[in-house]
Amino acid sequence: MKRLSWREWLKTITFYEILVGMKATLSHLLHYKPITLQYPHEKRTLPDNYRGMLALLRYDDGTEKCVGCDLCEAACPSRVIRVVSAEVPGEPTKRYSKEYYMDMTRCLFCGMCVDACPVDALGMTREFEWAVYDKRQLHLNKEQLLAIGDRAFPVREKRLELQHPNVAFFNVAFKHVPHKPN
């Protein structure tokens, strides 16, 4: 049997390891400085990857980006989104979202609908103050979602056919777009 030295014996009797652990706890307890924000006037900084309220986006000329493909509705795991799409009269290959509804009481804020959108018509804002007394106010329609998008994303991108010179050159998308000069 091994004999303990007097230091090891003293550490065993005084519970040295527990005291070393409690030193960190006590130093935090004694030197703790709380960080208090006066909430309505001071707001904390949100992380860069924060996912807030969803919004529908527009192009710079004011037209809606949504093409009514219903991929966001299919990608949503909690079935928050409901899209009613229709065809543009006279142009059967073009579609748009006639009606667009979101039930934000069931939203998980996962961002899968934003990732699924092929034309980037959905965006996640940094808004988090959506406390209401009646949860029916969180059933948002297309106009409300577009208003959120206008407020949260003031800088808009150009239409797709104006971004790509080949589309504008061949004038495939719209007949009213002027031909590209030679």
Give a yes or no: residue 120 inside a domain: yes
User: What CATH number is attached to the domain comprising 122?
Assistant: 3.30.70.3270
Q: Do residues 95 and 85 touch, judged by C-beta distance below 8 A? A: yes
Which pLDDT score, from 0 to 100, does residue 1 have?
Answer: 61
Beta bridge partners of 83: 100
**Which residues are documented as binding site?**
66, 69, 72, 76, 107, 110, 113, 117
**Which residues are documented as binding site for [4Fe-4S] cluster?**
66, 69, 72, 76, 107, 110, 113, 117
Give a yes or no: residue 14 inside a domain: no
Count of C-beta atoms within a 10 Å radius of residue 114: 17
Give a yes or no: residue 26 inside a domain: no
Give a yes or no: residue 46 inside a domain: no
Q: Do residues 129 and 39 touch, judged by C-beta distance below 8 A? A: no
What is the spatial distance between Cα 35 and Cα 46, in angstroms, rounded to a whole number?
A: 16
Q: Do residues 85 and 96 touch, judged by C-beta distance below 8 A? A: yes
The total domain count for the chain is 1
Give a yes or no: residue 19 inside a domain: no
DSSP 106: S
Beta bridge partners of 84: 99
Give a yes or no: residue 49 inside a domain: no
Give a yes or no: residue 61 inside a domain: yes
Beta bridge partners of 58: 64
pTM over 0.85: no
Beta pairing class for 54-56 and 81-88: unpaired
Q: Which domain holds residue 84?
A: 54-170
Q: Write out the chain's pLDDT in tens, 182 residues.
A: 677 787 887 777 778 888 888 888 898 888 888 888 898 898 888 999 999 999 999 999 899 999 999 999 999 999 999 999 999 888 878 889 999 999 999 999 999 999 999 999 999 999 988 899 999 999 999 999 999 999 999 998 887 666 665 554 554 555 565 555 65
Give a yes or no: residue 7 inside a domain: no
DSSP 168: H
